[in-house]
Every structure is written in structure tokens, then in C-alpha cells.
Amino acid sequence: MVSLFEIELPFPGTRCVLKLLEPQGSCAEALWQRVCDRTYEKPFIMERGTERLLYFDVDSSQSVMSLEQPNWLTLAYTRTMMAFLLFNRSPRRILLLGLGGGSLAKFCYRTLPLTAITAVEVNPHVIALRDQFCIPKDDERFRVVHADSAAYVSETGCDKDVILADACDHAGIAPAQDTIEFYQDVWRRLTAAGVFVLNLCGDRARWVSHVAKLRSVFGERFITLPAQHDGNVILFAFKQISVEMDWRELEATGRELARRYGFDFQRYVQRIALDWRLRRQRPRSINVHDTIRQDCAKECTDSTCREY
């Protein structure tokens, strides 16, 4: 485990500690000033009460871990991303684009024991903090790869049943993922019945660009699902030519998954059904800007291969 330089912050009410990838004996005052004025360039940890948070800057946290339940998905958007289980309860291979605090990586590793998982992270400092977030060691079915996510999916390798894109910087979705080529490579790397899951985060004005590029590759074979409380919208895109939704089967699957994991999968099915109906009622000529605005306005109301 890497050694972190700690600064205890004078916040009232609860103990708050800043943890930085800096040598012991560093100047605490100078580092705190750089964090506050946003000139500190490495990710850092803030430990507050029973939570450990990963930050890229002081404006917002990128990941949250409960110290009492380190494997629980604390943030609503991460639980919403797990709705891919409605369409594939036992994926053989999952590719995670963006490691962050490892919430999704840990949860998939612990709850899907037959699944091989690869997490790709471009920032070596994020990887250096993996032990702080209880991310498992690399083994025969789990590994963390230091690479650019867009470059990684462009390479030839084993097809993935599920690709989860949660690569965000301080402004939102990583710029490397805002190209048609990226979505083409994602489509190519999916199995025939594969699911691509994208966390739409950050500046909503930038979401239109992402959805337009994704639509140019996946067509209308996608659905959106707002994450309760977080303000994020999760997008699920399907590779197969036509997706026929068996709503009774989905509802039954939702009930089973809710019992198994404790998430509100039944609400997910209800929101997916609403999005599916609305999307098919819209004229095909509708402007993509209007479409994404409608999608984002919805609020929640209730392994033999060497490459994993």
C-alpha cells in the first residue's frame, strides 16, 4: 500500500482528513492551498466520518466508499448502471472503462463469481489509490490495466458481454470517448447480445454530442434511465439488430434481482418501459437535441482467453 500524506482539516462536527499522494514531511499548508485553488493535479482522498471519497478537485467527489460497508454501491448512479443485469444476469466478461474508486469493479467481482473483469484506467495516480478503496488484487478473473480507454477498446481482443463506461474527469465524460470511432470500437468489441452502459455525467450540454455519436452507431437500440438523486442519466445500448422486450420476463427478473441485491430493479423496469414506449412514439425526424433534452428531463419518481 502506498504511503499517503495526511492533513487533518479543522471542520466542525466530524473528523475530516485529507490524504494525498505526497511524501511525508510535505508542507501541509502549501498543499491545502493548492487543493483549494484547484492547482493540485493529482486525485486525492477525503475521509469524513464513515465515508472515504475520491476527488479530482474540491468541487465534487468522483467516488464514495462506506468504511463500514466497503463493497456496497453507495452512489445511486452506480446501482443504476448495474441494471444491465436485467438483460444478462450472468455475463462471462465485463470491461470497465474508468476505475475511479472501484465501486463497480468491486461489486461485480464480489457478486458475479463466474465473470472475468477488466478495468481500464488512464490515470496512474488513481490506480495507486486502489488499496485505499479495497479494490481486489489482480487474479485469474480480475485485473486493472493502465491504458487509455478509447485506445484499449480499439485494439483486438476478446469480445465483452458488458462494457461499462464510467471514465470521467472534473468536467464530466472523458473527451477521449466523444468520438464516433470510440462508439464504433465499443460496438465491435461487444458480443452479439452485448450491452454497452454509459454514465452521462457532468455538463448536460455535452451529453447531446455523446448521444448523437452513439446513435450514429447503435441506431435507436438504446434506452435511458435517470439515476435517482445523483442527476446522472445512464444509457444502455444494445448491439443486436432488434431488441424485443419481454416485459413480463423483465418484471420477473427485476423482482429476483431486487431480492438478491437489494436495489430497486422493479423501478428500473418501470422507467425502462416508459422510455421504450416514448422513444417509439417520437417521429424519426425529431431533432437529437430535443431527444436528449427529453431523455435528461425525466426524473425518478419512486476463461480461456489471455485477455479477461
What pairing do the DSSP bridges indicate for beta strands 116-121 and 16-20?
unpaired
Q: Do 59 and 112 lie in a common domain? A: no
pLDDT at 231: 74
Over 90: is that where the pLDDT of 170 sits? no
306, part of any domain? no
Over 60: is that where the pLDDT of 111 sits? yes
Q: Do 28 and 84 lie in a common domain? A: no
**Catalytic: which of 57, 131, 138, 166?**
166
Over 80: is that where the pLDDT of 106 sits? yes
Looking up residue 142, the CATH number of its domain turns out to be 3.40.50.150
pLDDT (tens digit, 9 = 90+) per residue, 15-28?
899 999 999 999 99
Q: Do 221 and 262 lie in a common domain? A: yes
Last residue of a domain, one of 48, 66, 84: 66
Question: Rounded to whole angstroms, what are the CA distances from 102 to 77, 167, 229?
Answer: 14, 11, 20
| Closest by CA position to 62, among listed 213, 217, 184, 166 | 166
Residues 126-150: what's their mean pLDDT? 96
Cell of 143: 485485473
- pTM for the whole structure: 0.88
Over 70: is that where the pLDDT of 112 sits? yes
pLDDT (tens digit, 9 = 90+) per residue, 22-73?
999 999 999 999 999 999 999 999 999 999 999 998 887 889 999 999 999 9
Three-class DSSP category at 95: strand
∠ Cα 147 150 154 (to 5°) = 100
More confident residue, 13 or 120: 120
Q: Do 149 and 220 lie in a common domain? A: yes
| Closest by CA position to 197, among listed 77, 65, 288, 114 | 77
Over 50: is that where the pLDDT of 298 sits? no
pLDDT (tens digit, 9 = 90+) per residue, 248-289?
899 999 999 999 999 999 999 999 888 877 777 765 434 444
CA distance 177 to 226: 20
What is the residue-averaged pLDDT of the chain? Answer: 86
Q: Do 48 and 90 lie in a common domain? A: no
Band (pLDDT 50/70/90 cuts) for residue 294 is low
% of the chain with per-residue pLDDT over 90: 64
Q: Which of 125-129, 171-175, 216-220 has the lowest mean pLDDT?
A: 171-175
Cell of 194: 452485448
CA distance 132 to 50: 14
CA distance 204 to 208: 8
166, part of any domain? yes
DSSP state of 275: H
pLDDT at 183: 93
Check if the beta carbon of residue 58 is closer than 8 Å to that of residue 67: no
Q: Do 19 and 105 lie in a common domain? A: no
Q: Do 146 and 33 lie in a common domain? A: no
* Helical (H) or strand (E) element with 199: strand 190-200
What total of structural domains would you count in the chain?
A: 2
Longest dimension (CA), the chain: 63
82, part of any domain? yes
Q: Do 115 and 17 lie in a common domain? A: no
pLDDT at 215: 92
Band (pLDDT 50/70/90 cuts) for residue 202 is low
Over 80: is that where the pLDDT of 175 sits? no
Range of the domain at 58: 5-66
Based on the residue annotation, tell me whether 290 is a catalytic residue of this protein: no
% of the chain with per-residue pLDDT over 70: 85
